[in-house]
Structure 1
Amino acid sequence: MKYLLATAAIAPLLMFSFANAEALSADAAAEAKPAAEKAVQSAGGKNHGEAVFSTGVAKGRDRLDSATSTSALRASEFETYGARSLGEVLRNIPGIRAEYAIGEGNANYSIRGLPLSGTGSKYVQLQEDGLPVLEFGDMYQLGTDMFMRSDLNLSQIETIRGGSASTFASNSPGGVINLISKTGDTEGGAVQGTYGLNYGEKRLDADYGGKISDTLRFHVGGFYRQGEGPRDVGYTAYKGGQIKANLTKTFSNGYVRVYGKYLNDRTPAYTFIPVRVTGTNADPTFTSPANFDIKTDSLLSPYVSNVIRLDQNNNLAQDDLRDGQHAVVKSVGLDAQFEVNGWTITEKFRFSDVGGGNLTIRPIAVAPAPLLAVGNGGVGATLSFATGPQAGQAITSPATLNGNGLLTTSLQLDTKIKSLNNVTNDIRASRVWDINGGSLTTTAGLYSASQDYATDLKFLTVLASVAGDGQSTLINTRTAAGVPFTQDGYSSYGLGNAFRRSYDMNYGVNAPYASVNYHIGKIAVGGSLRYDFGKVRGTLYGAELGGGRVGMASFDMNRDGVISTAETKVSVLPLGQPGHVDYDYNYLSYSTGVNYRVAEQLAVFARYSRGGRASADKILFTPAVNYNTGKLVDDESAYDTVKQAELGLKYRISGVTFNVTGFSAKTGERNTQIVSGADGSAQVLNIVRGYEAKGVELEAAVRRGPFSVTAGATYTDAKITSDAQRPVLVGNKPRHQADFIYSVTPQVELKNATVGFNVIGTTSSYAQDTNQLKLPGYKLVNAFVQVRPMENVQLMLNVNNVFNQLALSDSEQAAIPATGVVLGRTYLGRTASATLRYSF
C-alpha cells in the first residue's frame, strides 16, 4: 500500500503539467491533427477515445469499468521506437521486464517481479489474435518470440498484467501479451523500405486491406529482409520474412474470419561474449577486450560455423551455425463471433505447423590462451589455428593472440525441431442479464490445446578465439609430445553425459472456465474460475536419464580411419533405452475483483488471483519423473502457482491517462538454471524455490496539441523466500531483478514532421542469485524523426542508443574471477536506420 501511495503522489505534478499544456495554441493543435489521424489510420489503429480492451477478460469493455491492469500500444506508437526486435517494443510497456540482448527471438520476459530464473517467458503468454503461439513460452532453446514478427500487419499490442489472465488463458498467471492483426477495417495500405545506415540490413514491408463487398473485407501483408545485422559476424545472418492474410465475412449478427500465416526467417542468436571487468563486485567497471567491441561484435563467425555431429539415429551428419534461429511456421485459423438469442458466442481455432531449429555458439569458459592450452593438452601444450585464413599455422605467441590473448571453451548449440506443432481451440458464450437495474455478465468456455515438443538437442565442445569483425576461429591443441588433443577445433563431440537429448513429447491441455461480473451504478464486482487438466505423454532419449545408459562412445567423425583423442568423446543417444513420460495433472485457478467508478474520469479497483503454470519440459531429465513408469515422483512437480494481489487507480480525461497499481505476488517454481562455477565451468542447477515480490506500477500519457508524452515505470522489491537446494540464498534478490525500470517517450507532431525520443532505463541488479557481482544500471536513448514532404509519403530516421552507452543484460559469473574476464551479454551500441514509406 505504501508503494501505491508514494507513486500516486506524482499525480498532482502530472496534473500541473497537463494544465500548463492546455496553453498550447489551438492553431497548432488543428495543424497537427490531420497528420496524426493519417499516421494512425496507416497503422490500422482507431482514432477515437479509449478503445475497448478484450485480451484476457470475459468480454471487451471500457478499461475504467474493469478491475484489471491493462495497456494497449498501437502500431503508430511503437514504430517510433525503431525497434529491431519484438523485445525492444515490449520493453516500453509498464510492468514488463524484457531481456532482449540475444537478438530477435529467444528473449526473456517477465511481469512485475515474477522470476526469470530460466529463459523465455515462463509466466507470460505471448499470443497472436487471441491464441498462444506456443502453449509454453520457455521451452529449451525455443522461446515463443522466435516464431513471431512485428510488421505492417500489426494493428496494436494488448497486454494484461496479473488479474484475470490467470483464468482466461492457460499457463499465463503473470499476464498475456497479445499481438492483434489488422483486418481490413480501413481501406488502403503501405509499402516501405528500410535500410541500415551503419549496419547490414535491407528490408521491404508491404500491406493492403479493404472491402471486397459490403459484407466481405480482407487484409494481406508481410516483409522480407536480408543482411549481416547490427553485429559484425562476417556473413548474411538475417534472411527471410513472412506473409499473413485474413478474410472477414460479416453478417447481421456477427462475423467469421479465416486467416493464415507463413513465416520462414533466419536470425542470429547473440549469446554470451567475453567482457573485461575491473573494480569490485559492488562497483564494477565493464570494458571491451582488445580488438573486440562488446557493443558491436559477436563470437559468431564463418570460421566457427561448421558443425560435425551425430543425428538422432547416431549417424554422422553436418550442420551450419549460420542457419541461426530458423523459424518456419505455417498456420491457419478461424475467428468467429455471433449473437444468438441474447448470447454472444465466440470461437477461436488455429493449427500451426512449427519447424526449423536453433544453432549458435555459446562460450562456457573464458581465460588467457596459455591457461586454456594447459586445460586442453596439459603442460607444454601448443596451439594452432584449426579454421580461418591461417588454418594449420602455429600460434607462436598465445598471450598476444588477436591482441587480447583470450580463448574460450565454447559449445556449438544445435537444436533441431522435429515438431512444435500445436492445435488450439477456445470457445466461449457470454450473456448480459438485466437484474435489479444492474448488468450481470456470465461467461462459460472451454479451452483445448495439443502442443508437440519433439526436438533433437546436441551440445558440442570447441576451443575458439576471441576476435572482432566476425573473425573468430576454432583452435587446435597438441600435447607436449605432439599428440593432437583436439580435432578440427573440437575437444569433444559432446558435453560429457549432458545435453545430448532427443524429445518426442505431447502436452494435451483442457480447461473449462467461467466468470460472473455484476455491474450496477459505479460498482462492478466479479470473479472467475479455471480448471486446467493436462495429459503429458512421450519418450525421451539421453544418457542423463541414468540407469546405466551410455552417453559417450568412440566414432570416426572425420572418416580418416583413425580414432583421435577427441573422437573418443562422442555423444550418442542410448536408442535401446528410452525414458517414458506418462502422467496427468490438474489445478484450479481463480480471480476475483471489485471496481469502483468514482467519477466518469476516475476508477479504483482491487483484485486477488491465483494462477498456475504447467512445468512442461523443465522437469524432464530431472529426478521429478520416474522414467521407467513415466509417472511423477511428486505430483506437485507438475505445475507452479502464482498468487497475486492488486490495488489500482485509473484516471482518464481528454488527452490524459494516468494508471497506478500496487501489487504483491508469491511464486513457487521448479526450473533449471545455467550458471558458472568457481572454476569457470558451466553448471546446470535444478531449482525448487519460492519467491515474493511487491511494488508499484505506473503508466501515464498526455497529449496536448502537437505535444505528447507517454511514460511507464515499475518499482519492485523482490526476494527469494525458500530454496530446497541452496537455502543460503533465502532473503536474496533474484538475479537480474532491478528495483526500478522505466520508459519515457516525448514527441512533437506537426503537420509535416514528428520528432521525439524514447528513453528506457533500469537501476542496478545482481548478476546471479548469490548477490555478489552487480550489473550497473543504464539509460538508453533512442531518437526518431518522421518527415512527410507530401501526401502519402513519409521518411523516417531512427537512431537507437544515440549516445552509444554500454548496457549489460546479464553475466554468467556470480563474482569477478581472477582472470578479470566474465561472460556477459550486452545490448547493442548505436544503430541507425532510414525508412521510406508510401501509403495508398
Structure 2
Amino acid sequence: MRFRSACLVALLSGTAAVPAYAETGSDAETSSDAAATADSAPAPAPTPKAFTTGVAKGRDLLDTAISASTLDEHDLASLSVSSIAGIMQNIPGIRSETSDIDGFSAITIRGLPLAAEGSKFLQLQEDGLPVLEFGDIQFAGIDQFLRADLTLSQVQAIRGGSASTFASNSPGGLINFISRTGETAGGLMQVSSGLGHDLKRIDFAYGSPLGDGWRFHVGGFYRTGEGPREIGYTGFKGGQFKANVTKDFDGGYIRFYAKYLDDQQPIYGTAPVTITGTDADPQIGFLPGFDIRENGYASPLTASYAEVDRNNNPTLIDGRDGLAAQVKSFGIEAQFDIAGWSVTNRFRFSDVSGEYNDNTPFVTAPAPFFAGFGGPGASLSYAAGPQAGSAITDARLLALSARIYADLESLDNVTNDLRATRVWDAGDGKLTTTAGLYSARQDIAMFWNFTSTLQDIQGGGQSAPVNLTAGNGLRLTDGGTLAYGFAVGLPFGIYHNRYDVDYDIVAPYGSVNYQIGKLAIGASLRWDKGQVNGQVFSANFGGGRVGVAPIDVNRDGQVSVAESRVAILPLTQPAPVDYDYDYLSYSAGVNYRFADSLSAFARYSRGGRASAENAIGTETLNPLTGRPTDPAVQVSVVKQAEAGVKFRKDGLSAFLTGFWASTDERNFQITANASGQAFVVPVNRTYSAKGLEFEGEWRKGPFAITVGATFTDASIDKDANNPAFDGNTPRHIPDFAFFARPEVALDKVTFGAVINGTTKSFAQDTNQLVQPGYVLVSPYVQYRPADGLTVALNAFNVFDELAVVQIGAPTIPASGIANVQVMNGRTVTASLRYAF
C-alpha cells in the first residue's frame, strides 16, 4: 500500500552556512565537534576516513571491500536540505522520494522496488542502532522519527556489502547518522527564517572536555511556522534535544546518551493538476489558483472532523497535527579491552509514538458530478467558512477526499548489539575475527481510520468542506463528511484496522578477515530469528465479524444518513498473531590495494528482510492460526554482486562501483486505473537491477566540487499475478540520477550550489505514462563579517522547476486531471550563526 505526497523543502540553510570538520575516532566511534575557528577556514582536502558502519572494524575506505560514502560536517553544511531523506539524495545509489520533510518518504537503493512507503531494504541507524526495526511500517516511515540538526557529526552509508550481516533487516544497505560527542570545546547558535514564507528555526550545539577523561555534548532545535506552502495554519511546530556524556579510559570508553523529540509537520499530499499531451511527453499544468508547488491541500476549514477511535467511541480528529513524532530514548555505549579482544556493546530503549494525518483527493471533478451522488434534484452547498450555507450552482472543481488518520500508539523498541573483535598474527598477515549477538524487541501498536469528505479546491489555505443534500431536502453529508469509511472505489471498511503486535529478534553473527600485504579477503555470516505475537482487529477477516454500525459520531443527538453506516472494529473478535521466522545472511569480498592511492574490490552478498505488519494484514493473515497464509510473505531476500575501484590522491578522490541486485517482493501497493482512481493490488514479483555508482571530489585552494551519479537498469523479471508486467521497468526508477556541489571559499565569502537531477521514469509499472525528470539548482552564499559570525542566504530550487516526484495514474486520464506529488518551488531562507 502506498499513500504518498510531496514533502517540505530545505530550511536548515543556516547549516548551508556552517562549514566544519570531522575527526576520525576509534573503531567504535567517529565523531567531531564545532570549533569557533571553523567559520573562516576553507574545506579540507579528502583524507583517509575510518569507516565504522556495517563493518567489523573501522578502516580507511580504500582498505575495505565495500561500496560506501561518508558525508562529514562540511558536506552536510553544504546541502540545501535538512530532512533525512533529503540528505540521502546526495548519496550515490539511493533513490529518495521526498520534498524535505521527515517521514512520508519512499527510499530505496540500487534499483530495488519502491512498492511501499518508507524504506524496506535500506536500514537507517542513529549512532549505530536502528531507529525502528522495520523501515516500512505503514504510516510510520522510519525517517519520521529521526532529525538532522547541529548535533549531527557524520552520515555513513554502505551499499550492499556487509550491511546485511552487521545489521538486521538491511539487505540493501545501511545508513548511520552519527552524533557529535564533545572531543573539542566549542558551540554553535543559529537562527534562520524563511523569506517570503513563514518558518522560523533556532539551533544550538555545545560540547567540551570536562577533565579526567570526561566530555559531553548537548544540542537541538526548535521551529515553528506555516511552512513554504500555504495551508492557513501553523504546520511546523516542535523540535528535539539531544545530550551525551562520555568517559574515556585506557582501552576504551563508556557513553550515556538521551534524546527527546516532539515535532510535527504538515503532509503535502498528492494534489490535482491538469495533464495533457501524450503519455510519452505529458504536459503538467495547474488548476486555476492552485499551484501545488506553493499551496497545500490542507486548510483550517477542513482540518478537524468527527470520527470514531480505536474503541469505536466518537472522537474529533485534528488534521493540523500532521505528521507528528514523539521519541524519548536513552542509550549506553561502551568499548573496552578484555584479554586481547575489543568488546563493544550498544544498548538503547526508545519510547516512540506519533500520528499520521493526510488528506488526499480521491476523485476530482466539476460540482455537477458530485451532485449526482444525491440523485435527481440534489444540491451542493458550503459547510463552513465565509460562504457557509451558500449554494454551489456552477461547475467549479470539487474533490472527494480520503482522510487518512493513523494513531501510532506505540512503536517502542529496545535494542542491544554486543560484539567482540580480535586481531591475530597469522603467518605474514593479520587475521581479524568478530563474533556478535544482536537482540531487539519492536512494538507495533497502531490504529488506522479512513474517512470520505467533500471539499472545494482553493489555494491560500482556503479550501472549504461541501455538503450534499438530496432533492427531498435530506442532508447526505455531515459537515462535508460523506462516509465514515470509503465512499467509492474500495470496500467500505477496508484498512480500518488496529494492530497490537510485538516482534522479538535474536541474531548471532560473525566475520573473519585476513589481510596479507596488499590483499584482504573477508566473509561474514548472520542468522536472524524472529518471534511475532499479538493480535489484529479488523472486520475484513470475516468469520461473522461486524464492520459497520449506526453511531452518532458528531454527537448532535441523531443518527444522520452518513452516520447510519460507520466503519467499526470487532473489539471482541481479534485475530491472533503467532508465528516465527528466520533467515540466513552472508557476504564475502576481496580487496586489493595496488598503491596508497588506488584499490579495487569485489563482493557477493545475500541478505534478508522480515516483513512487519504487511505480513499480518487482512489480505495475508490467517485469522484462525495466527500465521501468514503464505509463508513466503514473511521474508524478502536480496542478492547483490558488486565490484569497484577507489582512487584518492592529494585533493582528488574517485570511487566507481558496478553492481547487480535482485529481490523477491510480496506486498501490496496503491496504483490507479486509467481514470486516475486509486485501488490496491497485490504484488508477487521478482526484480533485478544492474548499474554503476560514481562518487568523486576535487579540491584545490578555494575551489571544491563533489559529484555523484547512478546509472540503473532495473526490471520486473517475473510477475506471478500479471505476466504482462514481465520485463517492464519498475515505477519511479530512473535510468540516471546525479548530484553536484560546486563551491568557492574565499576569505570572508563562500558561495556555491547544490544540484540534484534525475532523468524520466515511469509513473506506474504498466510503463505507459512517463514521469518527467528534473534538475534542481539551489545556490547559497555565506558572508563572515567577523570571527565566529556567519550570515547566509539559501535559495532552494532557485529556477522554480516543476519537479515531479510521482504521478498517480498509469496513463493520461480522459478527464485531463491527475494527482501529482511535486517538490516545493523556489524557497529562500536566511540565517545567522555564531560559533564560540
CA contact (8 A) 2:36 2:187 kept: no
2:358 partner amino acid:
T
How far did residue 47 of structure 1 move? 8.1
CA distance in 1, matches of 2:516, 2:199: 55
CA distance in 1, matches of 2:145, 2:322: 13
How far did residue 42 of structure 1 move? 10
Give the aligned partner of residue 391 of structure 1.
388
Give the aligned partner of residue 543 of structure 2.
547
Identity %: 51
How far did residue 339 of structure 1 move? 1.8
SS of 2:301's partner is helix
Give the aligned partner of residue 488 of structure 1.
479
CA contact (8 A) 2:349 2:415 kept: yes
State whether structure 2 residue 138 is matched by structure 1 residue 147. no
Give the aligned partner of residue 519 of structure 1.
515
CA-to-partner distance for each residue in 1:267-316, whole Å, 9 max, x for gaps? 11111100111101111000111010111111111011112111111111
Give the aligned partner of residue 335 of structure 1.
333
- The match for 1:83 among 74, 81, 84 is 81
CA distance in 1, matches of 2:420, 2:359: 49
SS of 1:97's partner is strand
CA shift in 2, pair 1:46/1:535, >3 Å: farther
1:469 partner amino acid:
G
CA distance in 2, matches of 1:603, 1:37: 34
CA-to-partner distance for each residue in 1:393-412, whole Å, 9 max, x for gaps? 11121x1xxxxx22111111
Aligned structure 1 segments of 4 or more residues deviating by more than 4 angstroms: 36-43, 45-48
State whether structure 2 residue 241 is matched by structure 1 residue 250. no
Aligned length: 798
CA distance in 1, matches of 2:592, 2:375: 72
CA shift in 2, pair 1:414/1:371, >3 Å: same
CA shift in 2, pair 1:209/1:41, >3 Å: farther
CA distance in 1, matches of 2:734, 2:183: 41
CA shift in 2, pair 1:422/1:383, >3 Å: same
CA shift in 2, pair 1:618/1:42, >3 Å: farther
CA contact (8 A) 1:624 1:633 kept: yes
CA distance in 1, matches of 2:40, 2:103: 27
Give the aligned partner of residue 668 of structure 1.
664
CA-to-partner distance for each residue in 1:22-54, whole Å, 9 max, x for gaps? xxxxxxxxxxxxxx99675899x9988221000
CA distance in 1, matches of 2:265, 2:40: 28
CA contact (8 A) 1:592 1:609 kept: yes
How far did residue 81 of structure 1 move? 2.0
CA contact (8 A) 1:675 1:812 kept: yes
How far did residue 632 of structure 1 move? 3.0
Query: Equivalences for 1:23-62 in 2 at 5 Å?
Result: 49-62=47-60
- The match for 2:421 among 430, 438, 441 is 430
CA contact (8 A) 1:65 1:595 kept: yes
CA contact (8 A) 2:85 2:100 kept: no
State whether structure 2 residue 406 is matched by structure 1 residue 415. yes
- The match for 2:459 among 468, 474, 483 is 468
CA distance in 2, matches of 1:652, 1:324: 45
CA contact (8 A) 2:429 2:516 kept: yes
CA contact (8 A) 1:555 1:570 kept: yes
- The match for 1:326 among 312, 324, 328 is 324
Give the aligned partner of residue 190 of structure 2.
192
Give the aligned partner of residue 766 of structure 1.
762
How far did residue 437 of structure 1 move? 1.2
CA distance in 2, matches of 1:667, 1:752: 51
CA contact (8 A) 1:40 1:46 kept: no
CA distance in 2, matches of 1:406, 1:563: 29
CA contact (8 A) 2:39 2:835 kept: no
State whether structure 2 residue 375 is matched by structure 1 residue 378. yes
CA distance in 2, matches of 1:157, 1:488: 47
Structure whose residues are more often helix by fraction: 1
How far did residue 231 of structure 1 move? 0.6
Q: CA RMSD in A?
A: 1.7
1:371 partner amino acid:
F
Give the aligned partner of residue 269 of structure 2.
271
CA contact (8 A) 2:207 2:217 kept: yes
- The match for 1:755 among 751, 754, 769 is 751
CA contact (8 A) 1:659 1:700 kept: yes
How far did residue 82 of structure 1 move? 2.4
CA-to-partner distance for each residue in 1:308-328, whole Å, 9 max, x for gaps? 111111111112000111111
CA shift in 2, pair 1:380/1:282, >3 Å: farther
CA distance in 1, matches of 2:178, 2:381: 53
CA shift in 2, pair 1:623/1:321, >3 Å: closer
State whether structure 2 residue 469 is matched by structure 1 residue 478. yes
CA-to-partner distance for each residue in 1:501-541, whole Å, 9 max, x for gaps? 11001111110000000011111000000000000111000
Give the aligned partner of residue 458 of structure 1.
449
Query: Equivalences for 1:650-669 in 2 at 5 Å?
Result: 650-669=646-665
- The match for 1:633 among 619, 629, 633 is 629
Give the aligned partner of residue 294 of structure 1.
292
- The match for 1:444 among 435, 439, 443 is 435
Query: Equivalences for 1:793-808 in 2 at 5 Å?
Result: 793-808=789-804
1:458 partner amino acid:
N
CA distance in 1, matches of 2:555, 2:506: 50
SS of 1:556's partner is coil
CA distance in 1, matches of 2:428, 2:273: 66
CA-to-partner distance for each residue in 1:217-243, whole Å, 9 max, x for gaps? 000001111000111000000000100
CA contact (8 A) 2:796 2:827 kept: yes
CA contact (8 A) 1:597 1:604 kept: yes
CA distance in 2, matches of 1:84, 1:290: 32
Farther off after superposition, 719-728 or 455-464: 719-728
CA distance in 1, matches of 2:165, 2:786: 49
CA distance in 2, matches of 1:148, 1:632: 31
CA shift in 2, pair 1:754/1:42, >3 Å: closer
Give the aligned partner of residue 3 of structure 2.
none
CA distance in 2, matches of 1:42, 1:508: 50
CA contact (8 A) 1:365 1:823 kept: no
Give the aligned partner of residue 11 of structure 1.
none
CA contact (8 A) 2:293 2:802 kept: yes
Give the aligned partner of residue 12 of structure 1.
none
- The match for 1:212 among 198, 210, 213 is 210
- The match for 1:345 among 330, 343, 346 is 343
Farther off after superposition, 489-498 or 380-389: 380-389
Query: Equivalences for 1:58-137 in 2 at 5 Å?
Result: 58-101=56-99, 103-137=101-135
Give the aligned partner of residue 406 of structure 1.
397
CA shift in 2, pair 1:470/1:319, >3 Å: same
CA distance in 2, matches of 1:709, 1:46: 12
CA contact (8 A) 1:102 1:271 kept: no
How far did residue 749 of structure 1 move? 0.7
CA distance in 1, matches of 2:80, 2:735: 26
- The match for 1:176 among 174, 191, 200 is 174
CA-to-partner distance for each residue in 1:146-201, whole Å, 9 max, x for gaps? 11111010001110011100100000111111110000012111101001012111
1:736 partner amino acid:
H
How far did residue 464 of structure 1 move? 1.6
CA distance in 2, matches of 1:292, 1:624: 40
CA distance in 1, matches of 2:316, 2:72: 44
How far did residue 562 of structure 1 move? 2.9
State whether structure 2 residue 230 is matched by structure 1 residue 232. yes
CA distance in 2, matches of 1:620, 1:271: 27
SS of 1:725's partner is coil
TM-score (norm 2): 0.94
CA distance in 1, matches of 2:46, 2:652: 14
How far did residue 624 of structure 1 move? 3.0
Farther off after superposition, 471-480 or 821-830: 471-480
CA distance in 2, matches of 1:424, 1:558: 43
